[in-house]
Amino acid sequence: MRGGARQLTGGGVMKNTRLIKENIRISLQSIKSHLLRTILTVLIIAFGIMALVGILTAIDAVENTLTENFAMMGSNTFNIQNRDIRIHIGGQRSKARDFKVIDFQQALDFKTQYDFPATAAIFSYGTGTATLKYGSEKTNPNIAVMGTDENYIYTAGEEIAKGRTFNENEIHYGNHVVIIGHEIANTLFKSKEEPIGKVISIGAGKYKVIGVLKEKGSSIGFSGGRSCMVPISNVRQYFSRPNMNYRISVMVSDPKMMDAAIGEAIGLFRKVRKDRLGDEDSFAIIKSDNVANILIGLTSKLQIGATVIGLITLLGAAIGLMNIMLVSVTERTREIGVRKAIGARQKTIRNQFLAEAVVIAQIGGILGIVAGMLIGNIVSMITGSSFIVPWAWIALGVGICFVVALLSGIIPANKAAKLDPIDSLRWE
């Protein structure tokens, strides 16, 4: 008896498999007989899935780039910078409070007094519109010049590909030496000439190249490829401006001590800034992961918008697919009558038309997923991120296509299944 039950079960599975294969074969034959109409419907579905998968994959690429770039500062690094204007409504403060810039002496006092197992660095922006020249070659006037001390290279997560970083004497005396980004080196030294030791022009000044940064993305406040660094004393002298603002970068030796390091830094810098007891901090503490999380939070809103756009497009595709299936039912009324006359049940007819809708939707879905992946990874390549296979979005695309097929095919399939065989056979 048990053996007989297993045989019956196996026979049922084989029968269902044959029915599925037969439905798919009939669906493909129907698609071939109405090729142009099917292609148009497939393209509508493909565009909807492409928009959905493409935008979501591109957003994933941007998130990966943000995470990678902000991680360059490391989970054990934070910045101290000037705080923006704050407006207080109510109470005693009813107007904007303009926080003073962090001057060089305050930054230097913090660096010398910060007694914690950490490395502190001072940096400031000289200009963002410099032109660098070497011989007949020059860059675009969009190079950022930063003034840094000897520790900034390490706290910013940058690496020297050639040459060396600044020494204490160069920082103290403000020597005319410079560390350039890899893109600047490629622009100025096109014939593979060794940049180390060469003298280049930054604006009206002459600077000796002592280092080239390793090719890397952008960390907070610094785009290594299109920027250059000079001693901070040099920036103070030759790129000085009123109310020049300085920032402090701190790298903690142990990431587990990050909170303690920030607490110590806040207490010391309030003392340096002479913030009164009870007043809010006149400076801001910026952690790389905090900024990354804020930006990634913004991309999640873009994901919602992209999903809505894709679903609206797919709604149009669902209406188009339903239309083609209704037309197909009408055109094949006589065929349906013949099938019913030779014994086909309503369930068989309904499944046949549902299978046809699913096949059309999945063809469009596959095309849309491939196109969406390509578009998303083009964005990934532009942003410098790695190749992405968005398995979650691929699964979402396949699932949506299946749902679209069922919603679009159920009404035509039921209509076909309920046709009277006698009336169908008389259909012309």
The pLDDT of 234-240, averaged and rounded, is 92
* Each residue's pLDDT tens digit, 269-279: 999 999 888 88
**Residue predicted with more confidence, 99 or 232:** 232
Write a three-state SS string for the chain.
CHHHHHHHHHHHHHHHHHHHHHHHHHHHHHHHHCHHHHHHHHHHHHHHHHHHHHHHHHHHHHHHHHHHHHHCCCCCEEEEEECCCEECCCCCCCCEECCCCCCHHHHHHHHHHCCCCEEEEEEEEEEEEECEEECCEECCCCEEEEEECCCHHHHCCCCEEEECCCCHHHHHHCCCEEEECHHHHHHHCCCCCCCCCCEEEECCEEEEEEEEECCCCEECCEEHHHEEEEEHHHHHHHCCCCCCCCEEEEEECCHHHHHHHHHHHHHHHHHHHCCCCCCCCCEEEEEHHHHHHHHHHHHHHHHHHHHHHHHHHHHHHHHHHHHHHHHHHHHCHHHHHHHHHCCCCHHHHHHHHHHHHHHHHHHHHHHHHHHHHHHHHHHHHHHCCCCCCCHHHHHHHHHHHHHHHHHHHHHHHHHHHCCCHHHHHCCC
One domain, residues 244 and 325: no
Predicted TM-score (pTM) of this structure: 0.55
Q: Determine the pLDDT at residue 427.
A: 56
One domain, residues 167 and 251: yes
Number of domains in the chain: 2
Final residue of a structural domain among 223, 246, 281:
281
The pLDDT of 203-211, averaged and rounded, is 93
Provide the residue range defining the domain that includes 162. 100-281
One domain, residues 111 and 257: yes
One domain, residues 306 and 274: no
Final residue of a structural domain among 281, 314, 335:
281
Q: Determine the pLDDT at residue 197.
A: 94
* Each residue's pLDDT tens digit, 2-55: 445 444 455 556 666 776 677 677 767 767 777 777 788 788 888 878 877 887
Asked, for residue 405, whether it belongs to a domain, the answer is yes
One domain, residues 266 and 341: no
Mean pLDDT in the chain? 79
**Residue predicted with more confidence, 309 or 361:** 361
CA 362, CA 352: separation in Å to the nearest integer?
A: 15
Q: Determine the pLDDT at residue 57.
A: 81
Q: What percent of the chain has pLDDT over 70?
A: 80
One domain, residues 271 and 308: no
**Residue predicted with more confidence, 339 or 205:** 205
Q: What percent of the chain has pLDDT over 90?
A: 27
**Residue predicted with more confidence, 423 or 326:** 326
Asked, for residue 243, whether it belongs to a domain, the answer is yes
Final residue of a structural domain among 226, 247, 281:
281
Query: Would you place residue 89 in the very low, low, confident or very high pLDDT band (cuts 50, 70, 90)?
Result: very low
One domain, residues 229 and 336: no
Q: Determine the pLDDT at residue 218.
A: 46
